[in-house]
Structure 1
């Protein structure tokens, strides 16, 4: 399965990224790196060569674009006034050019909550289209899970489950400190915050709706 990483402008740490890249790439036929604006230069500065750099490049400026081109990175430039974020454009470019089965947005969580929430919406769109996708940064892995049976493998100490749909029904948890059995979670509650896996993996069953599943840790 081909896997793509879109590296955005939010929180990033090289050690965490390399670890994630190694773990996701272990069973991949091909791993593709795409940089969104500053994310592309971040990759180049750490010895990676992204397959594509996308954005308006208002963060890195003309000098940053020059450095990307000097490193041999193909650059796709958009006007600053546009109808989508750089991350969204990079995600769509990744899908059009490389058609990955798994897409990870690394650095998609940052100081701008509006951008972070928009990136969760992007993941939702990807999941609805049949692509496995999630957001990642040094402290979090953020997924959206729909109806079905899902095995979650995680080394993070906390796993929170929040309803993305207005109400999520038929939630059953196995292998968690606080199990659920055919339960429902609806907007307006914090009931699913800070659960924990008993081992390295647990099972999440969902009958109806979409759950926002956040693996998190306080320190990287």
Structure 2
């Protein structure tokens, strides 16, 4: 699957916006109830996996019969969330990109854990992001160009204890060789004034959140 893009659809908040993110040649992974969402909207998951404790027996039978590959596990005796299971599988395929849909929901613990998963992508040099109706979330550890797209704001938050040498180009509120530490809000709600911006950094892990209201 080198050069391909993997879309993981998991069981958080989903809507019509999610369908617009799917392209014809994407590899689709259904995680728990996310698999049902794909099938109900006319897509065939390449693989569906999870404990499926959020679906009915009838829905589970539909997922099993409508997926090219189906993997289930015990909902009690497992160490990983369904989303992490799917994410680890996706990393093992060495794709060009992984996008998580439905990874943000009403359970803040799961949402935060899913954001932390993105660090694994950095370790394997795979571009990974979380997208929902209003946000695109990624983690960077080196200088990165950012495209404005349909987003109105961009926020920078340290994921490591500190991030050093942050310099911004193309932003309304510039930074030069700045240092951000956990607990600071200096990087919240910046604006790209050009179609593209450049974030330079020297060390640390930086959470980059593009958002719109």
The DSSP-based 3-state class of the residue aligned with 2:131 is strand
The equivalences for 1:137-176 within 5 A come to 137-147=132-142, 149-154=143-148, 155-176=150-171
C-alpha distance in 2, partners of 1:35/1:71?
A: 11
Change (3 A) 1:208 1:67: same
> Which residue pairs with 1:69 in the alignment?
64
1:72 Cα deviation from its structure 2 partner: 4.2
C-alpha distance in 2, partners of 1:69/1:179?
A: 51
1:136 Cα deviation from its structure 2 partner: 1.1
The DSSP-based 3-state class of the residue aligned with 2:22 is helix
C-alpha distance in 1, partners of 2:91/2:120?
A: 12
The DSSP-based 3-state class of the residue aligned with 2:137 is strand
The DSSP-based 3-state class of the residue aligned with 1:47 is coil
C-alpha distance in 2, partners of 1:181/1:103?
A: 31
The DSSP-based 3-state class of the residue aligned with 1:21 is coil
**Preserved CA contact (<8 Å) 2:48 2:67:** no
Q: Do residues 86 (structure 1) and 77 (structure 2) align?
A: no
> Which residue pairs with 1:43 in the alignment?
38
C-alpha distance in 2, partners of 1:152/1:69?
A: 39
The equivalences for 1:122-137 within 5 A come to 122-137=117-132
The equivalences for 1:1-12 within 5 A come to 1-12=3-14
Q: Do residues 202 (structure 1) and 197 (structure 2) align?
A: yes
Pick aligned residue for 2:180 from 172, 176, 185: 185
CA RMSD of aligned residues (A): 1.4
The DSSP-based 3-state class of the residue aligned with 2:111 is helix
1:106 Cα deviation from its structure 2 partner: 0.8
Any unmatched runs of 5+ in structure 1? none
C-alpha distance in 2, partners of 1:65/1:50?
A: 14
> Which residue pairs with 2:15 in the alignment?
13
Pick aligned residue for 1:120 from 112, 115, 120: 115
- Please give the TM-score of this superposition, normalised by the length of structure 1: 0.90
**Preserved CA contact (<8 Å) 2:130 2:138:** yes
Q: Do residues 59 (structure 1) and 54 (structure 2) align?
A: yes
1:174 Cα deviation from its structure 2 partner: 0.6
C-alpha distance in 2, partners of 1:20/1:185?
A: 32
C-alpha distance in 1, partners of 2:67/2:166?
A: 48
Change (3 A) 1:150 1:114: same
Q: Give the number of equivalent residue pairs.
A: 209
